[in-house]
Amino acid sequence: MMTKRWTPHQIEALLTDVLVPVEPSETFLRRLQARLVTYRGERALNPWMFIVVGATGVLMFFSFLGLLLRILVGWIGLLGILSLRREAKSGREPTKA
């Protein structure tokens, strides 16, 4: 079953018939306005704010902890390299773990 392709004029006529502008009721406008308006100072301490701040704090703590661990591992590696060079200069065999 093949349908005919609509012309732009037919589509425009159909949309003109279907999409009729409607004035919203006074009750709808009042309720919409009541939802959109917030008062200054109302719910100053939003519970989501605590969650976001807490999660950010935890992420920053673990990021800082990861940075400290990387620096610590780097220093340990640097000390190991320096001790190996010192042992090589003194002519001793490097110690095996």
The pTM (predicted TM-score) of the whole model is 0.47
Asked whether residue 80 is domain-assigned, the answer is: yes
Asked whether residue 81 is domain-assigned, the answer is: yes
H helices of the chain, where? 8-18, 26-36, 47-90
Asked whether residue 8 is domain-assigned, the answer is: no
**pLDDT tens string 45-65:** 778 889 999 999 999 999 999
Asked whether residue 73 is domain-assigned, the answer is: yes
> Where in the sequence is the domain holding 81, given as residue range(s)?
67-97
In this prediction, residues 19-48 reach a mean pLDDT of: 78
Asked whether residue 20 is domain-assigned, the answer is: no
Neighbours of 25 (CB within 10 A): 9
Residue 84, C-beta contacts closer than 8 angstroms, at least 6 positions apart: 94
Q: What integer pLDDT is reported at residue 62 of this predicted model?
A: 98
Q: What integer pLDDT is reported at residue 43 of this predicted model?
A: 65
Asked whether residue 7 is domain-assigned, the answer is: no
Asked whether residue 1 carries a pLDDT value surpassing 70, the answer given is no
Q: What integer pLDDT is reported at residue 37 of this predicted model?
A: 72
Asked whether residue 86 is domain-assigned, the answer is: yes
Residues listed for the chain:
97
pLDDT band, residue 8 (cuts 50/70/90): very high
The better pLDDT of the pair 80, 87 is held by 80
Q: How many domains does the chain have?
A: 1
